[in-house]
Structure 1
Amino acid sequence: MTDASPLLTVGFVLLQRFTLLPFAAFVDCLRLAADEGDRSCQVRCHWRFMTGDGQPALSSCDAAVSPCKPFDDPTRFDYLVVIGGVQDENDRTDQLALDYIRRAAAAGGPLVGICTGVFALIQAGVMPGRRCCVSWYHHGDLTHRFPEVAPVADRLFVDDGDLITCAGGSAAADLAAYLVERHLGRAWAMKSLHIMLIDEGRRGEHPQPQPVVFERVADRALRRAIDIISQHLGESLSIDDLARRVGTSRRNIERKFRDELGVTPQRFMRNLRLRYGLWLLHYTPRTITDIGERCGFSDTAHFSRQFREAFGYTPSQARKTGSDRAVDPFFLHIGEPERLQRRG
């Protein structure tokens, strides 16, 4: 390959404690499309890692990326990709990065916010009135910090032309392949994905793999409890164990659920597991038996009985009717799923 200029150029803005997986997934897709085999020469694709001072960038797992360059002329890149990281309101704001993002937006080049990189795009003021894709895991943090923003959390990424936002994680590989296909062709995108042991790139509208509670819960202990429950949907988690993991007493955690959500922790867990089952029925080909087990129910009969009691129809009926009965799995408040019957 002797092309003098690459067909796709990407500048990476690596923010403080950036998340390593979406960064690695994105850049590796570029690397594998850039040259024959996996020789990694920047022939078809070119990329540059940048920080405000040009020093190595430290990731959230303490792995450092080097070499990094100072922020370069944004017009040199087809895309400026902002990789965000751990969100801590006590962290120092990277003002140099925000200024650079504003400069890039003014120049008219496409901006890409990956993972919590979208937080930086919002802080830079380049997203008024725009859609904003975010991971279900960071949805609560984003709506808490930026209540004026309406995030999209039921898909992997959103392409609005000059502004692309991605939920992060492995979805960064899907987005990178999408852009490689646009600039180099489908064969090069598939080459990258196959070497990465990914069968097929998922499109932006592909749903994120797990529902979560999008409730504006002010209490930190309760938010922590909800996170733990969401991450252990297939397990039988006792209230004592939940309280221990949160660092509080059983009585206190029961009071918090009752006062803020109007349900017991046991009821909340059951309802969340059932909503997860509903989501799996709508968006995956898994068998009902497999879904019941994945949602932590002892057997199919138990799952079906609880499901019908909650939603008013059986899992089989839910799968047959499909989108006619589909509900948003990212419902704002999970207290009583019986409300779905009245909504429908």
Structure 2
Amino acid sequence: MTTLPNKPLAIGFVLLHRFTLFPFAAFVDCLRLAADEGDRSRQLRCHWHFMTSGGQAALSSCGATISPCEAFRDPGEFDYIVVIGGVQEEQDATDSAALAYLRQAAKVNVPLIGVCTGVFALIQAGLMTGRRCCISWYHHRDMHHRFPGAEPVADRLFIDDGDRITCAGGAAAADLAGYLVEKHLGKAWAMKSLNIMLLDEARKGAHPQPQPVVFGKVDDRLVRRAIAVLEQHLGEIISMDELAGRVGTSRRNLERRFSDVLGVGPQKFARDLRLRYGAWLLHYTGKSITEIGERCGFADTAHFSRHFRTAFNMTPSEMRKRAGSPGNDQVDPFFLHIDGRLAV
């Protein structure tokens, strides 16, 4: 006979207009698989409800709809209320009913979870003052410009601040759901869900977000494979002999192919990637310049700063200062040039 917890984990989902489907599906499917034995989907250990401001079907950003949805229920019924945000357009009307509901939930001390741009709704509702807001690196600039008083964090998957939890979205929603299942139901049920979802285990909230691809399309398969290895080891210095061995060629052939395809050798290209990664960290994290230099594989801050200035014609501190000023897209790391070459 199935042993059930004394109190099932109860989750209310607030689905905003054009919400992102993937993080929603990852989150709720983790709950579904933890709720019952096997894959029978009975809401035994977990309960969940999908809600919109008027009880209407919820339209996702990809055009799929979730139905049926309910009008907002008493927030006191839930252990958590998860708000899933989505596409952000200036002309989109603010869902004032949803914001009022989130304030009502906060007043009765129900923990609120902002997933993807769902954290924007928490900010608009006035519920994130003085708190860090975990956001995808992709939406970091949007948050910075729309809510200059917010404290965006884009170097981790989620932040558990007790009564406020914020999550970068995407696959990190499964990690967060697994974290909550383990907290309330036990590790075995979290692992059961994640394993069925073909995930090894839940990553911790502090696990770094995957960084954006830092170089564009390359047709040469060997060079492309070498770049992939370098992108996966941005915090390390890989010798050219090791890199050549990893991709199954000689050092001499690797150097020749890089020179033919990219106009630079693999060693300089690798250093440029690490410098671009440093520029990204300056823009999207609050890490110190010393930490960033170390994370990018440079021996010391002076070494990092010297190469950084040569590459970008400004020091790391100058870039950070300019990046924090409005209207400075020319120093966005996605548009930076290194030695006169567009680095994306």
1:302 to 250, 257, 265: 265
Deviation at 1:96, TM superposition (A): 0.5
> Structure 1 residues 324 and 155, CA, compared in 2 at 3 Å: closer, same or farther?
farther
Which residue of 1 is the match for residue 324 of structure 2?
none
* Rounded Cα–Cα distance in structure 2 between residues aligned with 1:309 and 1:70: 52
SS in 2 for 1:281: coil
Q: Any conservation in 2 of the 1:310–1:338 contact (CA below 8 Å)?
A: no
Q: Deviations over 1:85-136 (max 9, x none)?
A: 1000101110100000011111111100000000000000000000100000
* Rounded Cα–Cα distance in structure 1 between residues aligned with 2:236 and 2:78: 37
Give the AA of the match of 2:217: E
Give the AA of the match of 1:162: D
> Structure 1 residues 77 and 3, CA, compared in 2 at 3 Å: closer, same or farther?
same
Which residue of 2 is the match for residue 133 of structure 1?
134
Which residue of 1 is the match for residue 180 of structure 2?
179
> Structure 1 residues 284 and 197, CA, compared in 2 at 3 Å: closer, same or farther?
farther
Please give the residue correspondences for 1:278-297 in structure 2 after superposition, counting only pairs within 5 Å.
280-282=233-235, 288=243
Give the AA of the match of 1:178: Y
2:215 to 227, 233, 237: 233
Q: Any conservation in 1 of the 2:19–2:59 contact (CA below 8 Å)?
A: yes
Aligned-pair identity in percent equals 58
Q: Any conservation in 1 of the 2:58–2:65 contact (CA below 8 Å)?
A: yes
SS in 1 for 2:102: helix
Which residue of 2 is the match for residue 339 of structure 1?
315
Deviation at 1:150, TM superposition (A): 1.5
Deviation at 1:200, TM superposition (A): 1.5
> Structure 1 residues 139 and 318, CA, compared in 2 at 3 Å: closer, same or farther?
closer
* Rounded Cα–Cα distance in structure 2 between residues aligned with 1:90 and 1:116: 16
Deviation at 1:210, TM superposition (A): 1.0
Q: Any conservation in 1 of the 2:103–2:127 contact (CA below 8 Å)?
A: yes
> Structure 1 residues 322 and 176, CA, compared in 2 at 3 Å: closer, same or farther?
farther
Which residue of 1 is the match for residue 326 of structure 2?
none
Q: Are residue 52 (structure 1) and residue 49 (structure 2) matched?
A: no
Q: Deviations over 1:194-252 (max 9, x none)?
A: 000011211101111014xxxxxxxxxxxxxxxxxxx6724249xxxxxxxxxxxxxxx
Q: Deviations over 1:173-202 (max 9, x none)?
A: 000000000000000000000000011211
> Structure 1 residues 151 and 279, CA, compared in 2 at 3 Å: closer, same or farther?
farther
* Rounded Cα–Cα distance in structure 1 between residues aligned with 2:62 and 2:115: 17
TM norm structure 2? 0.70
Which residue of 1 is the match for residue 69 of structure 2?
68
Which residue of 1 is the match for residue 13 of structure 2?
12
Give the AA of the match of 2:234: L
* Rounded Cα–Cα distance in structure 2 between residues aligned with 1:157 and 1:107: 23
Q: Deviations over 1:245-290 (max 9, x none)?
A: xxxxxxxxxxxxxxxxxxxxxxxxxxxxx9x9577322899x7567
Aligned Cα RMSD in Å? 3.9
> Structure 1 residues 321 and 75, CA, compared in 2 at 3 Å: closer, same or farther?
same
Give the AA of the match of 1:147: P
What residue ranges of structure 1 are gaps of 5+ in the alignment?
212-230, 238-273
Q: Any conservation in 2 of the 1:19–1:86 contact (CA below 8 Å)?
A: yes
* Rounded Cα–Cα distance in structure 2 between residues aligned with 1:124 and 1:203: 28
> Structure 1 residues 309 and 58, CA, compared in 2 at 3 Å: closer, same or farther?
closer
Instruction: Say how many residue pairs are matched.
Output: 275
Q: Deviations over 1:50-89 (max 9, x none)?
A: 0011111111111111111110111110000000010001
* Rounded Cα–Cα distance in structure 2 between residues aligned with 1:32 and 1:310: 40
Deviation at 1:307, TM superposition (A): 4.0
Q: Any conservation in 2 of the 1:108–1:162 contact (CA below 8 Å)?
A: yes
* Rounded Cα–Cα distance in structure 1 between residues aligned with 2:156 and 2:196: 25
> Structure 1 residues 282 and 31, CA, compared in 2 at 3 Å: closer, same or farther?
same
Give the AA of the match of 2:155: D
* Rounded Cα–Cα distance in structure 1 between residues aligned with 2:171 and 2:318: 37
Q: Are residue 123 (structure 1) and residue 124 (structure 2) matched?
A: yes
Q: Any conservation in 1 of the 2:12–2:51 contact (CA below 8 Å)?
A: yes
* Rounded Cα–Cα distance in structure 1 between residues aligned with 2:267 and 2:74: 59
TM norm structure 1? 0.70
Please give the residue correspondences for 1:32-181 in structure 2 after superposition, counting only pairs within 5 Å.
32-181=33-182
Please give the residue correspondences for 1:249-288 in structure 2 after superposition, counting only pairs within 5 Å.
280-282=233-235, 288=243
* Rounded Cα–Cα distance in structure 1 between residues aligned with 2:167 and 2:118: 9
